[in-house]
């Protein structure tokens, strides 16, 4: 969802960066086909850049091999995320999307404490079990004073390629109930789409036609306050 949002904003002509704060399960670089380590410059670490010009920083760009496991305790995870925020030369961005792991771990805590967030987008799936974890994350965002922009449901259904029927593979959606409990809008529901999985595996997420993601992007753009002043770098 973070990558799709970055792509949608980039298509609108915005300058976009993605900070992959999922240190132990980083999936952003592969989706964009990024495999080269970032370059160093006197102004800081230069983020990798996708074909479409999205700037990306992720632990997976710094590992000797993509498959290498990061087995770190919280403080190390926290310091990596802070470095990605403070020491990466992001330049003048319109949006920086931060991809978080699920739940309320150290990564979420660090991001909510160290990065001035315009808002949090919560991603759920139809199962109530996923909803429960998302409601915990919502509780954390509220306690940390991070505004919740809304809820997006992923993998809501599959559209039968033969008859067009919508099949709810994970059962009826709980997203509306989850959004209601959180007190935030349900921004949209995305189907399971084999084409999306294929594009992600091939590093071609920028080529995926995410029509259904457009209304979600539109609502998010409306809900995020526009920056009026120049950014202050710490
Ligand atoms: N709606 C979808 N349709 C098809 N494939 C999807 C869909 N959503 C996710 N995927 C695929 O599933 C894989 C894992 O997705 P993703 O990277 O979002 O998971 P994740 O980051 O592990 O999730 P989380 O961080 O919430 O645990 C990717 O290959 C992605 O393309
Ligand atoms: Mg993830």
> In the structure, what pLDDT confidence band is assigned to residue 227 with cuts at 50, 70 and 90?
low
Ligand 1 centre to CA of 150 (Å) is 19
pTM, 2 dp:
0.94
Q: Is the pLDDT of residue 232 over 60?
A: no
Q: Is 183 exposed, middle or buried (0-12, 13-18, 19+ CB in 10 A)?
A: exposed
Query: CA-to-CA distance for 77 and 165, rounded, in angstroms?
Result: 44
Check if 197 has its Cβ closer than 6 Å to any atom of ligand 1.
yes
Averaged pLDDT of the chain: 94
Mutate to test the pocket of ligand 1, among 27, 151, 170 (most ligand atoms within 8 A of CB): 27
Check if 196 has its Cβ closer than 6 Å to any atom of ligand 1.
yes
Q: Is the pLDDT of residue 230 over 90?
A: no
CATH number of 1-116: 3.40.50.300
Q: Where are the domains of the chain?
A: 1-116
Atom 19 of ligand 1, nearest CA residue: 27
> In the structure, what pLDDT confidence band is assigned to residue 35 with cuts at 50, 70 and 90?
very high
Segment 51-67 mean pLDDT: 96
Ligand 2 centre to CA of 203 (Å) is 15
Q: Is the pLDDT of residue 157 over 50?
A: yes
pLDDT of residue 225: 80
Q: Is the pLDDT of residue 53 over 50?
A: yes
Q: Is the pLDDT of residue 152 over 80?
A: yes
For the chain, percent of residues with pLDDT exceeding 70: 97
Segment 92-105 mean pLDDT: 95
Segment 34-51 mean pLDDT: 93
Atom 30 of ligand 1, nearest CA residue: 197
Check if 3 has its Cβ closer than 6 Å to any atom of ligand 1.
no
- 155 CA closest ligand 1 atom index: 1
Ligand 2 centre to CA of 220 (Å) is 19
pLDDT of residue 43: 85
pLDDT of residue 44: 86
Query: CA-to-CA distance for 9 and 117, rounded, in angstroms?
Result: 17
Check if 204 has its Cβ closer than 6 Å to any atom of ligand 1.
no
> In the structure, what pLDDT confidence band is assigned to residue 226 with cuts at 50, 70 and 90?
confident
Q: Is the pLDDT of residue 51 over 80?
A: yes
User: Is the C-alpha dihedral spanning 143, 92, 98, 211 positive or negative?
Assistant: positive
Check if 137 has its Cβ closer than 6 Å to any atom of ligand 1.
no
Ligand 2 centre to CA of 230 (Å) is 30
Place of tokens 């925020």: 85
Q: Is the pLDDT of residue 84 over 90?
A: yes
Segment 89-115 mean pLDDT: 96
Segment 103-107 mean pLDDT: 93
pLDDT of residue 234: 46
Q: Is the pLDDT of residue 228 over 90?
A: no
Segment 198-221 mean pLDDT: 97
């Amino acid at each position: 969802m973070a990558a799709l949002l970055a792509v949608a904003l980039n298509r609108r002509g915005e300058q976009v960066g993605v900070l992959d704060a999922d240190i132990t399960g980083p999936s952003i670089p592969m989706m964009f086909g990024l495999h080269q380590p970032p370059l160093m410059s006197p102004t800081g670490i230069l983020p990798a850049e996708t074909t479409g010009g999205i700037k990306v920083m992720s632990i997976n760009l710094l590992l000797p091999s993509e498959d290498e496991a990061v087995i770190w305790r919280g403080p190390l995870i926290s310091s990596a995320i802070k470095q990605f925020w403070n020491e990466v030369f992001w330049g003048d961005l319109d949006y920086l999307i931060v991809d978080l792991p699920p739940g309320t771990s150290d990564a979420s805590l660090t991001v909510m404490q160290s990065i001035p967030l315009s808002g949090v987008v919560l991603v759920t799936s139809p199962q109530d079990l996923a909803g429960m974890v998302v409601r915990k994350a919502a509780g954390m965002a509220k306690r940390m004073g991070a505004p919740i922009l809304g809820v997006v449901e992923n993998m809501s259904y599959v559209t039968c390629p033969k008859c067009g029927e919508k099949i709810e593979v994970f059962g009826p959606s709980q997203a509306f109930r989850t959004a209601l409990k959180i007190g935030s809008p349900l921004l949209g529901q995305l189907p399971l789409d084999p084409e999306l999985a294929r594009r992600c595996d091939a590093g071609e997420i920028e080529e995926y036609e995410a029509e259904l993601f457009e209304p979600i992007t539109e609502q998010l753009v409306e809900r995020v306050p526009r920056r009026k002043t120049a950014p202050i770098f710490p």
